[in-house]
A and B are shown apart, each in its own frame.
Chain A
Amino acid sequence: MPENYIEIENLRKTYDGKKFALDGLTFNTVKGEIYGLLGKNGAGKSTSIKIMTTLIGFNSGRGSVAGYDIAKEASKIRKCIGVVQQEESYDFATVENNFKLAGLLWEVGREERDSRMSELMDLFGLEEIRKKRMFDLSGGQKKRVQVAREFMHDMKVIFLDEPTVGLDPIMRRKILDYIRQKANKGLTVLFTTQNLEEADMICDRIGIIDDGKIVEEGTSSQLKNRYGNLRTLTIWIGNDSIFSKEDIQKVFSDIEFDELDVRDNVITIITKKLEKNLGNIMSTLSNNNIQVERINVENPTLDDVFIKVVQK
């Protein structure tokens, strides 16, 4: 049995005494796992991070992080976590001093501090701006500093609340790779994002949160299988064989599909039962002397799953 590194059970939290921002949140993660919390704006992602990181209290339920109780052992938790909050956060100083101050606050020895600082600056492309004051940086540069700075110290769990917002694709990729590397070495990661492609790429497991509770959970492919088994098959047929939609419908009359579309020489079929039908489709085409130039199968995306789950 792997250790549960974050264990959250039935958390409820209301800010105003009326509406519950968290309404029975339950989930857990194991050590070294990257767990993605996905949800609409206002679903309760940041609220749950603030509670797990002991920044704010909650009304009922229980939880633990790295084996420590979030209500009773806050100061133990704070010593072994890292947090990149959604809002910007930095010291009124240069980039370099922000790193040094993080080292000071976390009691990182000078040598260790300097070597980590240069490694992180190199990795996150901060070398040229290290002497600049935070105020003079672009939005994405600030975010880079905020994320990189958090890795100045060791931790068991890191909470990343939309850490890649505003980053260019190259930097985003670098950060995700870095997080993955750390997770492979045993860091437990709780990650939120609005970029589902990114979640798909990096998260071991995903929890979809809506109105303050987890409504779906699983690996990305489990979720897709559960919700998005519709596949899109696109067939490009030879230029000389132009058919009308009616012709094609007649040809495919034996085949089950959810949607069929014909535009010039492109046929699009959306079906739940692609595996079963693919052979049929191809043989029907060749029996009718329709020359196939190229086909493409699109799997469902996490976007499809997400939209279905939260629109229910």
Chain B
Amino acid sequence: MKIPAFLRLTIRNVVVNTDMGTMIFMLGLPTLYLFVMGFMFQGIVPNGLRINQNGIDIPYTTFLAPGIIALQSFTAGNIGGGMLWSDRRWGMFEQIMVGPFRRFEYLLGIIFVSIFFAIVGSLIMLAFALAIPVSFNYTLIGVITFLLAIVIGTILFSSLFLIISGIAKSMQIYQTITIVLFFLLDFASTSFYSITSSTPVWLVYIADVNPLTYISNILRDSFIYGVNYQTFVSLGIIFAGMIVLFAISMRVFRNIRSGI
């Protein structure tokens, strides 16, 4: 049975990344967010924290769950795009590049492993969310936009991390950038909170250019508020962001020299 080159690379990437540390980062951390933050915030308000948006009033946990699922695209993109960094660091990039592969197949291997982790991760988070329980409405169009948003978001973030992996010169630089991005993008988005009239303006600006905001909003539309015109606009925006970042990552990737 012949497996195409990019799929062999994808399988390898899955195997290499299915270690304890990665799993905790990908599933453990968001689960903690979901349960701990969900219930802690619920608990600080006498009758339970509720979010009123679009004229619909929902418990905070229901609001939070799609945001946490959206984070999976960031995390999976980080794991996938970060592979280029570790492959360069541990000499496997060079090794693969003198093996039966082309550069774009390596790139596809990274994109596909990111998508794989993102989909598996978000389905697991979805299952956890249902255990809380949250009240989601399922529609076919909702499920399709959810999957689309996760896939586009993941390609966007894996491109972003491919770029960082391609230009970072040292472990310290790579990790610092990752941590800063992690905090900035995760927390200055609508993943955890809704934007209200009292949100500071500078935070609104960050949230407005933050892809996670759009992905979280799309997922909320998919599961709670219903897919509408604004949902497609958001999809269009992250799609455009994905194209731009992917193009840049291709450029950076083409110019990577062997060795660090």
What is A's interface to B at a CB cutoff of 8 Å?
50, 53-56, 75, 78-79, 81, 83, 85, 87-93, 97, 100-101, 104-107
Q: Are A56 and B257 in contact (CB under 8 A)?
A: yes
Residue of A nearest to B89 (CB): A92
Q: Are A89 and B2 in contact (CB under 8 A)?
A: no
Min CB distance A49 to B, Å, is 9
Please indicate the chain A residues that have their CB under 8 angstroms from the CB of B15 in the complex: 93, 97, 100-101
Q: Are B91 and A85 in contact (CB under 8 A)?
A: yes
Min CB distance A159 to B, Å, is 8
Q: Are B16 and A53 in contact (CB under 8 A)?
A: no
- Say whether, besides A78-B101, A105-B96, A89 and B16 are in contact (CB < 8 Å): no
Q: Are B92 and A107 in contact (CB under 8 A)?
A: no
Please indicate the chain A residues that have their CB under 8 angstroms from the CB of B94 in the complex: 55, 85, 87, 89
- Say whether, besides A55-B94, A89-B94, A104 and B12 are in contact (CB < 8 Å): yes
Residue of B nearest to A149 (CB): B95
Instruction: Compute how far the CA of A101 lies from the CA of B94 in the bound complex, rounded to whole angstroms.
Output: 15
Min CB distance B245 to A, Å, is 25
Q: List 10 A-B contacts (CB under 8 A).
A: A54-B98, A75-B100, A83-B99, A87-B94, A89-B91, A92-B86, A100-B15, A101-B12, A104-B11, A107-B2
- Say whether, besides A87-B91, A89-B94, A56 and B100 are in contact (CB < 8 Å): no
Q: Are B3 and A107 in contact (CB under 8 A)?
A: yes
Q: Give 17 A-B pairs besides A85-B94, A92-B86, A104-B12 with Cβ atoms closer than 8 angstroms.
A: A50-B258, A55-B94, A78-B101, A83-B95, A83-B98, A85-B95, A88-B90, A88-B91, A90-B91, A91-B92, A92-B16, A101-B12, A101-B15, A105-B8, A105-B9, A105-B100, A107-B2
Q: Are B95 and A89 in contact (CB under 8 A)?
A: yes
Count of chain B residues with a beta carbon within 8 Å of a chain A beta carbon: 26
Query: B19 on the interface (CB 8 Å rule)?
Result: yes
Q: Are A101 and B90 in contact (CB under 8 A)?
A: no
Min CB distance A50 to B, Å, is 7
Q: Are B99 and A89 in contact (CB under 8 A)?
A: no
> In the complex, which residues 1-29 of chain B have their Cβ closer than 8 Å to any Cβ of chain A?
2-3, 8-9, 11-12, 15-17, 19
Q: How many A-B residue pairs have CB under 8 A?
A: 70
Instruction: Compute how far the CA of A20 lies from the CA of B71 in the bound complex, rounded to whole angstroms.
Output: 49
Instruction: Compute how far the CA of A75 lies from the CA of B96 in the bound complex, rounded to whole angstroms.
Output: 12
Min CB distance B175 to A, Å, is 16
- Say whether, besides A55-B258, A105-B12, A89 and B90 are in contact (CB < 8 Å): yes
Instruction: Compute how far the CA of A299 lies from the CA of B173 in the bound complex, rounded to whole angstroms.
Output: 54
Min CB distance B255 to A, Å, is 12
Please indicate the chain A residues that have their CB under 8 angstroms from the CB of B102 in the complex: 75
Q: Are A107 and B8 in contact (CB under 8 A)?
A: yes
Q: Are B99 and A105 in contact (CB under 8 A)?
A: yes
Min CB distance B18 to A, Å, is 9
Please indicate the chain A residues that have their CB under 8 angstroms from the CB of B86 in the complex: 92
Instruction: Compute how far the CA of A90 lies from the CA of B92 in the bound complex, rounded to whole angstroms.
Output: 6
Please indicate the chain B residues that have their CB under 8 angstroms from the CB of A88 in the complex: 90-91
Instruction: Compute how far the CA of A270 lies from the CA of B99 in the bound complex, rounded to whole angstroms.
Output: 51
Q: Which of B2, B98, B101 has the largest count of A CB atoms less than 10 A from its CB? A: B98
Residue of A nearest to B21 (CB): A92
Indicate which residue in B2, B16, B95, B257 contacts A93 across the interface (CB closer than 8 Å): B16
Min CB distance A153 to B, Å, is 9
Please indicate the chain B residues that have their CB under 8 angstroms from the CB of A89 in the complex: 90-92, 94-95
Please indicate the chain A residues that have their CB under 8 angstroms from the CB of B257 in the complex: 56
Please indicate the chain A residues that have their CB under 8 angstroms from the CB of B99 in the complex: 78, 83, 105-106
Query: B55 on the interface (CB 8 Å rule)?
Result: no
Q: Are A92 and B90 in contact (CB under 8 A)?
A: yes
Instruction: Compute how far the CA of A140 lies from the CA of B97 in the bound complex, rounded to whole angstroms.
Output: 24
Please indicate the chain A residues that have their CB under 8 angstroms from the CB of B2 in the complex: 107
Please indicate the chain B residues that have their CB under 8 angstroms from the CB of A79 in the complex: 100
Instruction: Compute how far the CA of A239 lies from the CA of B90 in the bound complex, rounded to whole angstroms.
Output: 61
Closest 9 CB pairs of A and B: A89-B91, A53-B98, A89-B95, A83-B98, A79-B100, A87-B91, A92-B16, A91-B16, A101-B12
Residue of B nearest to A100 (CB): B15
Instruction: Compute how far the CA of A83 lies from the CA of B19 in the bound complex, rounded to whole angstroms.
Output: 27
Instruction: Compute how far the CA of A78 lies from the CA of B102 in the bound complex, rounded to whole angstroms.
Output: 9
Instruction: Compute how far the CA of A50 lies from the CA of B257 in the bound complex, rounded to whole angstroms.
Output: 11
Residue of A nearest to B19 (CB): A92
Please indicate the chain A residues that have their CB under 8 angstroms from the CB of B100 in the complex: 75, 78-79, 105-107
Residue of B nearest to A77 (CB): B98
Min CB distance A195 to B, Å, is 22
Please indicate the chain B residues that have their CB under 8 angstroms from the CB of A81 in the complex: 98
Min CB distance B100 to A, Å, is 5
Q: Are A91 and B19 in contact (CB under 8 A)?
A: no
Instruction: Compute how far the CA of A20 lies from the CA of B25 in the bound complex, rounded to whole angstroms.
Output: 46
Residue of A nearest to B105 (CB): A75
Residue of B nearest to A90 (CB): B90
Instruction: Compute how far the CA of A182 lies from the CA of B116 in the bound complex, rounded to whole angstroms.
Output: 40
Min CB distance A162 to B, Å, is 14
Residue of B nearest to A15 (CB): B257
Q: Are B19 and A104 in contact (CB under 8 A)?
A: no
Residue of B nearest to A150 (CB): B95
Instruction: Compute how far the CA of A239 lies from the CA of B8 in the bound complex, rounded to whole angstroms.
Output: 74
Instruction: Compute how far the CA of A90 lies from the CA of B16 in the bound complex, rounded to whole angstroms.
Output: 10
Please indicate the chain A residues that have their CB under 8 angstroms from the CB of B258 in the complex: 50, 55-56
